[in-house]
Amino acid sequence: MKYLFALLLLFCSGILHATTLPQAEPVPGGIAVVPLASGDKRPPSAYFAGQRVMVLKNAGQWVAIVGIPLASKPGTATLQIQRGAQKTSQAFTIHDKNYTTQRITIKDKRKVDPTAQDLKRIRRESRIMHSAFTTWHPRDDVPLRLDLPAKGPVSSPFGLRRIFNGQARNPHSGLDIAAAAGEPIHAPAAGRVAAVGNYFFNGNTVLIDHGQGLVTMYCHMQKIMVKKGQTLSRGEVIGLVGQTGRATGPHVHWGVSLNNARVDPGLFLAPGILAKLEEK
């Protein structure tokens, strides 16, 4: 009886100390969850494509939560591991995934073919966003289960190969939620405002740093209601849905960046939520 009780106690303890991980989908634009062979008490450092990678303990084992860039090629990839002065590597596999194509007509032609002056602004804004995406703040309790930032159907899923006015452009690096103009946009988890601004393509934008390279982005806002450096709680209103920047209608573009790779936000949602949105 005592033996059975001890087993139950260990089992329950393992559950209580398990981390809610995002859905593992090791494809371009997806996430690889890589167990690290280590009995270390302290987490080893991990790097992928030159970027530091989130490492958390799950059920007693260190795991790397790796964001895979959309431009990645299928095949064997290598994670660099560092424990003090010791450096090793660990391989994992990136699988192929085909994303559909979306054709969009934009009335404002400058949003497809920017002028030289526009390009200067775009480069300046890209540096600001890059700085936010590559910020690294240590945190043990990174929130890996996110809430939807707004209510509405999905108008454009993640990963679409986009063609604007007949010209191929970068794939869609977020999830578009077609909420009504003026509806609130909520922080999907606790974090700190890493950047705010009005950007050429993204319009009024907020970026939130959640720790260990996890950064979320919200674009095309009608109004921004937070300031850079502000600490946010889960569910706090950060702005209102709008149609600023390159947008054909009111919506919020929700992006998730992990180790500076834009990944599918749906992988951080509770099971079944995204499927219900796509049915609407």
**Would 119 be classed as within a structural domain?**
yes
Strand partners, 34: 64
User: Has residue 14 been placed in a domain?
Assistant: no
Mark which of 75, 94, 113 sits at the end of a domain.
94
CA neighbor of 173 nearest in space, from 188, 185, 161, 155: 161
3-state secondary structure of 52: strand
pLDDT attached to residue 100: 77
Using DSSP, state whether 233 is helix, strand or coil: coil
Q: Is 120 domain-assigned?
A: yes
The answer to whether position 7 is within a domain reads no
Tally of structural domains, the chain: 2
Predicted confidence (pLDDT) per residue in 243-279, tens digit: 999 888 999 999 999 999 999 999 999 887 766 666 5
Are residues 54 and 70 both part of a single domain?
A: yes
Q: Please indicate, yes or no, whether residues 267 and 141 belong to a single structural domain of this protein.
A: yes
The answer to whether position 8 is within a domain reads no
pLDDT tens sequence across 197-216? 999 989 999 999 999 999 99
| 43, 61, 94 - which closes a domain | 94
4 assigned to some structural domain: no
Looking at the structure, tell me whether residues 211 and 162 fall in a common domain: yes
For 216, the domain range is 101-279
Q: Check which CATH number belongs to the domain holding 73 and give it.
A: 2.60.40.1590
Domain annotation covers residue 9: no
Q: Identify whether 5 is part of a domain.
A: no
**Residue 152 token pair:** 């509405």
Which parts of the chain are beta strand (E)? 31-35, 45-48, 51-58, 61-67, 75-83, 86-94, 101-104, 154-156, 161-164, 167-168, 175-177, 184-186, 191-199, 203-211, 214-224, 231-232, 237-241, 252-258, 261-263
34 and 136 co-located in one domain: no
205 burial type by CB count under 10 A (0-12 exposed, 13-18 middle, 19+ buried) = buried
Cα 134–24–43 angle (5° rounding)? Answer: 55
pTM value is 0.87
147-158 pLDDT, tens digit each: 999 999 998 889
Ordered per-residue pLDDT tens for the chain, 280 residues: 433 333 333 334 333 345 689 999 999 999 999 999 767 778 899 999 999 999 999 888 899 999 999 999 999 999 999 988 889 999 999 999 988 776 666 666 666 677 899 999 999 999 999 999 999 999 889 999 999 999 999 988 898 875 665 555 567 889 999 999 999 999 999 999 999 999 998 999 999 999 999 999 999 999 999 999 999 999 999 999 999 998 889 999 999 999 999 999 999 998 877 666 665 5
pLDDT score, position 171: 75
Pairing of strands 101-104, 161-164: parallel
pLDDT of residue 274: 67
Cα(27)–Cα(31) distance, integer angstroms: 7
